[in-house]
Amino acid sequence: MSEFRQKAVLVTGAAGNLGRAVARVFAAQGSHLALLDLDPAGIAETVAACEGQASAKAFPADLIDRAAVNRTIDAVLREYGKIDILANIAGGFAMGPLIQDTEDRDWDFMMDLNARSVFNTCRRVIPNMLDNGGGRIVNVSARAAEQGKGRMGPYCASKAAVLTLTESLAAENKFNSINVNCILPGTIDTPQNREAMPDADFGKWVPPAALADVVMFLASDAARCVTGAAIPVYGQS
């Protein structure tokens, strides 16, 4: 029997390519899935992709709005009673102008989408994990968190925030049986990236399913002594 069977797994960004891949690997193990995203139609597609393998329910939510996040997670807890695993997959990327030409709205958009979303879900879910004796949190940072790039300042800073927030959460909870880690993907092989970079060698990119396997590993008992880690998953990109 799978160790993930009947575990309550909350996946943010569940309408996206990586979120759907993460949902599917846990569904195959018989987990109870709470799928969060701002895109109701996209979540419905992910629920359908998990059908027949696990209990998967859609929870539309604006992860930038703390009150909305709290209401949504309260609804998840009413449905499943607990959250064993939090997979913070929501996020995004945008190129930008030079830093001196960057508007406040562009900075805020990246910081909210990539960092505030993680902050909001973690601060609501951790009290439940404490009450239930532990849990696993896996966040998505990026390779760009470790080295800034030109015209990517807000994105790089937001992903660096996710990395250091992961380390802080791990330090705060290492004696509470709550392990907190993040992954650092390289270029992910998605339809959107293929369209944006049609001349690239797609075979060198990282398939979403491969990243999902790493997320599952970090949520597993095999990773029970791993916390505060930032795991590079670059493929050949």
Domain membership flag for residue 1: no
Asked if 49 and 24 count as a contact pair (C-beta separation under 8 A), the reply is: yes
pLDDT band at 54; cut points 50, 70, 90:
confident
pLDDT band at 97; cut points 50, 70, 90:
very high
Active site residues: 155
Residue 74 has pLDDT above 90, yes or no: yes
Chain centroid offset of residue 206 CA: 16
Where residue 228 sits, what CATH number does that domain have?
Answer: 3.40.50.720
Domain membership flag for residue 3: no
Mean residue pLDDT across the chain: 97
Q: Which domain holds residue 49?
A: 8-233
What is the pairing mode between strands 55-60 and 32-37? parallel
Question: C-alpha angle 142/167/8, rounded to 5°?
Answer: 80
Collapse the DSSP code of 12 into the 3-class scheme (helix H, G, I; strand E, B; otherwise coil) and give the result.
strand
Task: Quote the number of domains for the chain.
Answer: 1
Does this model's pTM top 0.95?
yes
Domain membership flag for residue 50: yes
pLDDT attached to residue 171? 98
Mean of the pLDDT values across residues 18-33? 98
For residue 33, what is the enclosing H or E element? strand 32-37
From the list 224, 25, 22, the residue with the least C-alpha distance to 139 is 22
* pLDDT tens-digit readout, 144-153: 999 999 999 9
* pLDDT tens-digit readout, 104-145: 999 999 999 999 999 999 999 999 999 999 999 999 999 999
**212-228 per-residue burial string, b: 16 or more CB within 10 A, e: under 16:** bebbbebbbeebeebbb
Residue 99 has pLDDT above 90, yes or no: yes
- To the nearest 10°, the Cα dihedral for 93, 94, 100, 106? -90
CA distance 226 to 179: 7
Residue 81 has pLDDT above 80, yes or no: yes
* Residue 188 bridge partners (DSSP): 206
Domain membership flag for residue 169: yes
* pLDDT tens-digit readout, 155-207: 999 999 999 999 999 999 999 999 999 999 999 999 999 999 999 999 999 99
